Chains A and B, each alone.
Chain A
């Protein structure tokens, strides 16, 4: 099943890249010129995201470097441990929504130090794989079209991250138990 889905994943993109222009050519679309036309927009979109990402990444970098993140984690650790969350994965609850690269580095480090098949590493892998970086998605998607007032979108994203975190812990308890 997994190998099958992985094969679909690796085939989809080359097939799409071939199919789309081929189909368009049949419909008499000037494929290369159209490509260039659309690609120009891509460049502008990427450039328009830069200020948004720089602003966010600066704040996130400072927050981690100052020790504020660690302080928050130490503060909430006892509550989470009572709920069956191993203390080692706790930082991920805060890292995951704010930085994709940071949380991936954290998960990688956890696997390196504890081994990939430990309970904590499995929970961490599940959390990393089951959700996307809320702040990044918000910054990029809304930044690209110039939305400044995101209304309730951030609350929804952070809420689903929290639910996802506990769902990941619960699913690992359910499937792997204590081992």
Chain B
């Protein structure tokens, strides 16, 4: 699906650019966009280097494992195919708590560490596993308690009640996270992970209990 969206955006842009006589701007934007991509990554370097260094310490000290053992019952339902004592669980939890507290620049490296741990459980190195998709769903919906950036901007513009958007934000973020998890569940069931399941850890497949396995390659990718 990403392939089509990407191709679609580029082709549509060129067509519109031609129709609107904005070809120069389109060309400019292509390279401007490329530059933005690199700039964003450069900004990420410092954050990732720092947090991954710190998290390596936490991991070697046994903190990540402790966290996953302590809180695993909560997250186990969301990630039934990840062994509960796996370090991925600890990182998933750190990522979720950082998101909740609005610590955006800590959430990303923790999420990436979680992905790297989930990748170790992945028998197909370039295909996303169901657990990876669930983690991504949680992060795109990004459940937030306090949207700090937006409140700060509202203060800047002299809002009388800069924080009164907290209540609707909580409502909206809860609804969209719920929708993301429901959609994720639905796709998880209809779209079984490709092809043979023999290499994936089958220790804890609670959701598969009682359901009849559809023919192995039922899912269409993308």
Contacts and interface: CB of A to CB of B under 8 A. Distances in A.
A65 B173 contact: no
Given A147-B132, A149-B127, A62 B56 contact: no
Interface string A32-62: 0011111101110111011001111111111
Interface stretch (B37-45, B70-78, B196-204, B209-217): B37-45
A101 B104 CA distance: 14
Interface in A82-100: none
B13 interface: yes
Contact of B54 (A20, A61, A125, A153): A20
Size range of the interface on A?
35 or more
B81 to A, nearest CB: 14
Interface string A1-44: 01001101100110011001101100101010011111101110
**In the complex, which of the residues A17, A126, A156 has the most CB atoms of chain B within 10 Å of its own CB atom?**
A156
Query: How would you classify the secondary structure of chain B's contact residues: helix, strand, loop or mixed?
Result: helix
A65 B58 contact: no
B55 interface: yes
Contacts of A112: 157
Contacts of B169: 125-126, 129-130, 168, 171
Contacts of B103: 9, 12-13
B179 A164 contact: yes
Interface in A80-130: 101, 104, 107-108, 111-112, 115-117, 122, 125-130
A5 B146 contact: yes
Nearest to B109: A42
Contacts of B2: 138, 150, 154
B136 interface: yes
A153 B133 contact: yes
Q: How large is the interface on B (under 10, 10 to 19, 20 to 34, 35 or more residues)?
A: 35 or more
Given A50-B41, A152-B133, A160-B140, 17 more contacts: A6-B148, A9-B101, A20-B58, A68-B13, A111-B153, A111-B157, A130-B144, A130-B173, A134-B140, A145-B118, A145-B119, A150-B2, A151-B191, A151-B221, A153-B133, A160-B176, A167-B172
Interface of A: 2, 5-6, 8-9, 12-13, 16-17, 20-21, 23-24, 27, 29, 31, 34-39, 41-43, 45-47, 49-50, 53-68, 71, 101, 104, 107-108, 111-112, 115-117, 122, 125-134, 137-138, 140-142, 144-157, 159-161, 163-164, 167-168, 171-172, 174-176
9 contacts: A2-B163, A58-B34, A129-B147, A130-B144, A130-B169, A130-B170, A155-B1, A156-B140, A168-B168
